[in-house]
Amino acid sequence: MDISALDNPAWSALTGRHAALAIGDGPVLRYPAEVSPFAALEAPSALPVLASRMSDGDTAVLWSPDALDAPPGLDLVVRFPCLQMAAFDFHPADVGDDASAMTLDDVDDMIALTSLTKPGPFARRTVEMGSYIGVRADGRLAALAGERMKPEGFTEISAICVHPDNQGQGHARRLTSIMGRRIVADGKVPFLNVLPDNRPAITLYESLGFRPRRLMQVHLLRRPGGDAAPDAFFSNL
């Protein structure tokens, strides 16, 4: 297994298991905007190519081990560190596997929950990146988790979130355990990303076998102009 795939996870995913979702060619690929704002570069030298392909108001999110500068024509809206954690020795909590599968019919509820809790960018077609599961309570979606980037040999667990009224009930541990167990059964290594100051979440993930691998830099780039609506997650940073 080539662990370096985690250094450029979106590129590895879009040239591999997510190739069917890839837009572009050459050294720049990206997901459809309604799936994810993530773009991918074969190497940082391709930043000007990305800039040339973005229209007014367009945004792109890049993951990199190193801080990148915006190329001419693009603005760096925000850059922040994210702790990448991988579970080569995953040990899930002793929970069942009976969470509800999320589908396109659940998108409105998923967007409502992710807009409230802000675990990361989530769009109407994000569910196409992998499987998502949830827990319903009191007539609403109370908790969510799913698969996002799929670099070679790895699958990211993402959108781990719990409604404020349902916290403290073990939902995050349960859903992360279920997702991780399924990923391991598929022959892949679970990984995830978490803000470095989110100590409660890091402690939870460590209890399941995730270990810090490295800090990744997340960049939100935007071409000036247009009238693109701000993303709820990045607007909160």
**pLDDT of 237 above 80:** no
User: pTM of this prediction?
Assistant: 0.94
The percentage of the chain sitting over the pLDDT mark of 90, rounded to a whole number, equals: 90
Please say whether the beta carbons of 122 and 154 come within 8 A. no
Residue 7 above 90 pLDDT? yes
Domains of the chain: 3-81+215-236 (3.40.630.30), 85-213 (3.40.630.30)
What is the per-residue pLDDT for 230? 58
pLDDT of residue 141: 97
- Please give the average per-residue pLDDT across 69-74, as a whole number: 96
> What is the distance between the alpha carbons of residues 112 and 107, in angstroms, rounded to a whole number?
8
Neighbours of 200 (CB within 10 A): 8
Measured distance between the N- and C-terminal CA atoms of the chain, rounded to whole angstroms: 34
199-228 pLDDT, tens digit per residue, is 999 999 999 999 999 999 999 999 998 766
